[in-house]
Structure 1
């Protein structure tokens, strides 16, 4: 039985300020309760269950699912990071060198790229919650089996699918989280567009609705920033969990399986992923989440039809073509923006230690690892900070500030890497802070401007970033040993290109918004 949504009529004023769109929630509740069968025909147990369902409003449902998705992201981050500290032991398992085992990283990246596209296709035809449960289980399985394979081919295939399921989970959860906390803005925008601008009371209502819409988008941005923080937290937990087991001497094989000191880190990571899938499955059984955004998309697409129903069909089709042109252009630019930005983020996170050891300071490997860790620590820590910053700043302001910080950090690295280790560390800290909130701000930004991030759109945008992350190591890796400053130069190039894409995208969104306002005003004054 689908979840029934009900708001407290006695506390409408309080709830309205606390959580956006409770009035819309109440409307949905009334419509859906009318479609329910007569409760007198139900058994006492089913009636009790229906009463339990009706008492859960959308705010409570969103909070419950948000907590569960945060936990799943910790588990996925843990499973993704458990490989790095165990590479040496894995090379012993397969009787090869570290470079051969490291092939799993590009294979995982390719798997991630494939997983982003498949996710959009599957979500079109299957229930998202069930898919997420399946993908989390498969992610846990491909993590658990890593130390149990007996040859490199099995190990490589497993790495590909491990990356595949990682991307599927990440894209799905990102779109879902963004949908849960900003879907009401789409309905509010439709109400605003349908109100008579000449009516004074309606204008006051528009102001109130716009205020609520902005608060909804801020909440979407807050939860998205926190979501990525929990993924980063999981990547920190990976080495911490592996370290106690790896301190023990390598014990060789036992019945074609690796000794317990290597099996346990992977087993613990898999257990966390399994428990996260179990929590989502339990909620699917008792309080299933409905993808209401699909209804909002249809409502949004039909808005133009309602506004121009008095006009001829040819004009209506022309306006729809313009609308689609703006929409596809914005989504394309968003994908290109993420690709250009992801290039700089991926290269710095992967080659920061190599850069430290190649510049004139000539840091030792342990020193280079220590200095580069300031980038990783800053990157994760500021993701937590950005969740609080998002309470005050809109997504577009956060992205602009992030880019300014990235440029300043990159300039510090450029001018001080050869002479001042403190300047290099400060530059890395600023880069980590700038990188921290760009990606989680993009989906809420699109929603804020009226472009619904569906599963397909989320997959396409994320796919473009994934392609950049696959290509970046090959491009930079060819030059980093001979020309270490290629890392800084390519970062400048990618950030400048991303800024151009972002500026064009923002101008298109402004033009599209102005176009819609002009069309609405023409209709209202007729």
Structure 2
């Protein structure tokens, strides 16, 4: 099935589900809306990362991924600003407070904004549908064959403008060589795919938890910030989060993904340490929250660019990766939601454990790839010497 048509359907489903959430009359209705939103966002998250890496292969994908996530960061700024006039300054468990009527307007605005995506995709498809040039997998090959057969069956006397195609990569031979090199050993390649999949999953769920549960965490720590104060702090966090991605767009042109990941892990650990020891004081809470926001800002796009250096992120593999992200995202937020009101410290604990595990996986992958590259270089040098 054509990728653009699939994205049009599922991004429209995501927009409709968002607008219907505050109109839920029962818990089942709400779960159905959340399911529709999660299904649409999962399909989009999977497809657009593959799409970008496909059009800008190798190291060239890093700045584009950072730029796309920068646009997402802009949305995280305007979202809390939109919600703030409709929030109440009481805790969530306060009696006799009805939030549904006040939440309908912002949810409808956000749902209508999300509809811009499928409309633009439909316009792009009608004007110049995208055709894959590099057929990485069987699904893409069938899509390309279908397009070719459709064009060949049309009238030969009619002159048509060829649709835009993914550029043929001629400048990233080292990346392709690395992919072939790691695929040469099935066990090593499978292990690498598993490690990268779990690394992306841990970064994804940590990023998701940090932004979405931070307002709840701020309201239940001993300081007990009001909902309005929490929304203000979340907006400031989103600003730093977005600024970090804007800065990394320029940095990723010069630095490789593994370097960006390395110093952002360190910044993230520093921010978590500040939050852990200073959550009873507002200024330390503010400083730690901003440092963690900057630490998270570039991790997700950088880890996708990093993975693209060693494995082919095809539609199928990206689906496996997103499914793994869904497994993390279905368990850890549920656990956090059960206990965050009684034990707000579990919020930082989960993020810290995920961060440490992610660092360990990243170091393991770095060791594996460095060892494999060294071995390959040594073998090549030996063969050249023998031939000489």
The answer to whether the 8 Å contact 1:379/1:436 transfers is: yes
- Gaps spanning 5+ residues in structure 1: where? 1-125, 186-216, 254-259, 308-318
Question: 1:309-328 counterparts in 2 under 5 A?
Answer: 323-328=185-190
- Tell me which of 116, 128, 138 is aligned to 1:272: 116
Alpha-carbon offset, residue 224 of structure 1: 0.3
The answer to whether the 8 Å contact 1:137/1:277 transfers is: no
Using a 3 Å threshold, how does the CA distance of structure 1 residues 444 and 158 change in structure 2: closer, same or farther? same
Using a 3 Å threshold, how does the CA distance of structure 1 residues 262 and 431 change in structure 2: closer, same or farther? closer
TM-score computed with the length of structure 2 as normaliser: 0.74
Q: Residue 289 in 1 paired to residue 131 in 2? A: yes
Q: Secondary structure of the equivalent of 2:136?
A: helix
Q: 1 CA distance for matches of 2:346 and 2:22?
A: 36
- The match for 1:456 is 316
Q: Secondary structure of the equivalent of 2:262?
A: helix
Q: Residue 164 in 1 paired to residue 24 in 2? A: no
Q: Residue 370 in 1 paired to residue 232 in 2? A: yes
- 1:464-523 CA-to-partner distances (Å, cap 9, x unmatched) read 233222222222334333333233333332221111111111111122223333444455
Q: Residue 229 in 1 paired to residue 70 in 2? A: yes
- Tell me which of 34, 48, 55 is aligned to 1:173: 48
Q: 2 CA distance for matches of 1:158 and 1:478?
A: 20
- The match for 1:81 is none
Q: 1 CA distance for matches of 2:321 and 2:46?
A: 10
- 1:393-423 CA-to-partner distances (Å, cap 9, x unmatched) read 21101111111111111111112111x3111
Using a 3 Å threshold, how does the CA distance of structure 1 residues 230 and 293 change in structure 2: closer, same or farther? farther
- 1:432-473 CA-to-partner distances (Å, cap 9, x unmatched) read 00001111011211233x422212222222332332222222
- 1:105-146 CA-to-partner distances (Å, cap 9, x unmatched) read xxxxxxxxxxxxxxxxxxxxx332332233334434444555
Bigger mean CA deviation after superposition, 374-383 or 140-149: 140-149
- Gaps spanning 5+ residues in structure 2: where? 88-97, 142-172
Q: Residue 397 in 1 paired to residue 275 in 2? A: no
Using a 3 Å threshold, how does the CA distance of structure 1 residues 274 and 132 change in structure 2: closer, same or farther? closer
Q: Secondary structure of the equivalent of 1:390?
A: helix
Higher RCO structure (Cα 8 Å, ≥6 apart): 2
Alpha-carbon offset, residue 356 of structure 1: 2.7
Using a 3 Å threshold, how does the CA distance of structure 1 residues 173 and 395 change in structure 2: closer, same or farther? same
TM-score computed with the length of structure 1 as normaliser: 0.56
- 1:297-348 CA-to-partner distances (Å, cap 9, x unmatched) read 99xxxx9xxx9xxxxxxxxxxx998622221111111122233334433332
Q: 2 CA distance for matches of 1:320 and 1:150?
A: 52
Bigger mean CA deviation after superposition, 319-328 or 379-388: 319-328
Q: CA RMSD in A?
A: 3.8
Q: 2 CA distance for matches of 1:179 and 1:281?
A: 18
Q: 1 CA distance for matches of 2:29 and 2:377?
A: 58
Number of positions where the alignment pairs a residue of Structure 1 with one of Structure 2: 340
- 1:78-118 CA-to-partner distances (Å, cap 9, x unmatched) read xxxxxxxxxxxxxxxxxxxxxxxxxxxxxxxxxxxxxxxxx
- The match for 2:333 is 473
Using a 3 Å threshold, how does the CA distance of structure 1 residues 266 and 404 change in structure 2: closer, same or farther? closer
